[in-house]
Amino acid sequence: MSYIVFGAGGHAKVIVDILRACGEEIIGVLDDHCTEEKWCGLPILGNRNQIDQLLSLYPEALFIVAIGDNATRMRIVSQLKAATVKFGIAVHPSAVVTPSAFIGEGSVIMPNSVINADAYVGEHVIVNTAATIDHDCRIEDFAHISPGVHMAGGVQVGRCAHIGIGASLIPGIRVGGNTLVGAGSCVIRHLPENVIAVGCPARVIKTYKDKG
């Protein structure tokens, strides 16, 4: 398959490496700010204004939006969907994904991560390096599961939530949409939407308006 990557930052570097490790062809990179002709050895194809032209040239190309920030990724995906772009999935060869798990379009599964039986990973989700998603977990669209996160069975993570690096979540916990769980936190109680929670055990320290 042939891919076009949207984004030319650090997160995109990892996704490019995943696609290369899978032996996929990468046509090039789109970015709204990069002024170089090449990035990571790949041609810069322009910015989002070139989408229609690229779809004409590469009608079978799959896109991945390589943006780490959930709200920004969601906004760009919405614009690309309006142009009838098709999205791919990037799963590193070292990741363990059980056959009964579901991975939605546009999602990326980083090196050494594990997704166990009957887990559901929605669209345009990031499961980052060495994260573990146990059985029957459900991660909604545009969420970001950071490196080293450990989610026990039956955990639910809402749309656009961000689980910080090294956090742990006990079985059956629900984390609401747009909620941020701080790095190293231990989540032992349900968390509502639109809050920031930190600590061990994790406690809500801030509430904010819905960013979605």
Q: How far is the C-alpha of 207 from the C-alpha of 107, rounded, in Å?
A: 28
Is residue 146 pLDDT above 90, yes or no?
A: yes
Q: Which two tokens stand for residue 55?
A: 């779809």
Q: Give me the residue spans of the domains in the chain.
A: 2-88, 91-207
Mean pLDDT for the chain? 95
Cβ(187)–Cβ(170) below 8 Å? yes
Average pLDDT, stretch 176-199? 98
Choosing from 11, 33, 135, 144, the catalytic residue is 135
Q: Which of 159, 196, 162, 158 is nearest to 175 (CA)?
A: 158
Q: How far is the C-alpha of 24 from the C-alpha of 8, rounded, in Å?
A: 18
Beta bridge partners of 185: none
Architecture of domain 2-88: 3-Layer(aba) Sandwich (3.40)
* CATH of segment(s) 91-207: 2.160.10.10
| pLDDT at residue 35 in the model | 82
Write the CB contacts of 102 (distance below 8 Å, at least 6 apart in sequence): 119, 120, 121
What number of other Cβ atoms are within 10 A of residue 87's Cβ?
18
135 is catalytic: yes
| pLDDT at residue 212 in the model | 47
